[in-house]
Structure 1
Amino acid sequence: MTHRDNAGSVGSLKFVTFLVALSPVLLLLGARVQLQDNGYDGILIAINPQVPENQNLITNIKEMITEASFYLFNATKRRVFFRNIQILIPATWNANNYSKVKQESYEKADVIVTDWNGVQGDDPYTLQYRGCGKEGRYIHFTPNFLLNDDLIAGYGSRGRVFVHEWAHLRWGVFDEYNNDKPFYINGQNQIKVTRCSSDITGIFVCEKGPCPQENCIISKLFKEGCVFIYNSTQNATASIMFMQSLSSVVEFCNASTHNQEAPNLQNQICSLRSAWDVMADSADFKGSLPWKGSELPPPPTFTVTQAGDKVVCLVLDVSSKMAEVTF
């Protein structure tokens, strides 16, 4: 969206114009992410200027996207992958023969890397506010998430996490879990675990260890202190929007695997439709056929650019009429 401030006049001041030389992307929409021949071009990942310099961030971002590209390719039945990625590093980092920025800016990035002091902690998330099937604003990662390998055990590999978030950003699908309501009563008055698909297995754990489900239920309410622990070994292949950390999960839920009863955002916002159903209606899927042949696509290519300093120019009227004006 183009933003323009119109200068006005005050008293005898004929005109005072402030011209700010910023990145052109603030004045123009700039290049959008494009899907061509099954590959995404033009994705911008930007590191916040307040993030301390760490070359491992660049390395881990590249590894994350490379893994994500192949995981996404298989999860979408050979439909899409990541071809070209641009990483924008701050001007505050030391120069290292990086290309200089052209039209890119942190404010317009598809993925941002910055610290977060809110309740999310290091949780990756995607800013979504336009509804089902609509693109989100950006994906957010903290530097700690990208650097701390100890977090992989809980979230799964970074490439899998990126695909989960990309589905939020690009196709407007939503989470299939619900931390606030991990259990629900189904149509047969049975307490079930909020999950997608229902084929994902696990065990109930009471205060003293594993226990049968009935030990966790009191008058159709879930007993405080009980939890459901998912088995590390699964046969279920879906779903990425539920728990991408499970090694068996390599697909999005479709019409045959989607759990319409689960009280999650995907059902609430997308009118009980599966993630795959929503994705199939997107322009990406309607306008592309599966990748030809049996080979895998090439790994992504990366361009690292460095932001430049912003220049502020002050243009004043210095005519004789301005002689008595003091700044």
Structure 2
Amino acid sequence: MMEESGIETTPPSTPPPSTIGTSVAAATSAIFTPVPPVLPNPVVQAPIAGIGSSITFPEEPEDPRVHTMHDEGSAGGIWGFIKGVAGNPMVKSVLDKTKHSMETVITTLDPGMASYIRTGGELDIVVTSIKEVKVSAVRDAFQEVFGMAVVSGEDGQSNIAPQPVGYAAGLKGAQERIDSLRRTGMIHEKQPAVSVENFIAELLPDKWFDIGCVIMDDPVHGIRLEAFTQATPVPLEYVQQAQNLTPQDYNLRWSGLSVTVGEVLERSLAHVSRTDWHVAFTGMSRRQMIYSATKALAGMYKQRLPPRIL
């Protein structure tokens, strides 16, 4: 209190001490937050060189094919690289598919090229005829089954009637064509050969059919197979005409007739050829029939050949 000025003053009071810091500290110490333990990483094996951290990353396994191709390429230069690439199964598959696609395009644009593309390989077949209807059918069938084959024709002869009658006569005629080529030296005695002989047979009373006999003879592997084409109906009247035109004293009458059914049909019907009258009666050519039977025969032949020939 100041008495000189006559004014009485009161000194300011001291503020009470603050408890905020104490309260926060107490609250903080009262709340306990658990800290999870630090577990070691199972993939960590060793620290990376030059880095203090102990964290490492798993290494991926190396592909041995990469090293193989690299080694071959380094060892042989460009040729080694080409050899390594060509030996890759995936690349080989792509090349084979490309080759097949190109062949398909070529043969589609020009079907006549198929026989040239597929001619070759180890399989060599001789057909006992020079008629294209037989040779081309056999060639296409064997090349379809084997992929590649050399098929040629030689003119084989038989000692039976021009129009064989019955299965036995047809089979004998086909075999004699092979025997004649071997006997005259036209083909080697071990040469695989295919022979085709058509005959007629009365399968039902007064119902005659034309059938083709196809035989395969491979002396080297001891394989002999027979197959037959589908039966084509022949009207009875045309068979009777062929019988009437054959002399009674015909020396080969035991095996058939001297006049073929095709000759009779050609004389009797307009626009019908003696060599391929089947298409006029069934809509299917004789070549197609021979091809179908020969393809089945080629499939059986392939199953019986040793693996090295395939």
Structure 1 or 2: more helix by fraction: 2
Give me the TM-score of the superposition, normalised by structure 2: 0.26
Give me the TM-score of the superposition, normalised by structure 1: 0.25
Larger Rg: 2
Higher relative contact order (CA 8 A, sep 6+): 1
Structure 1 or 2: more strand by fraction: 1
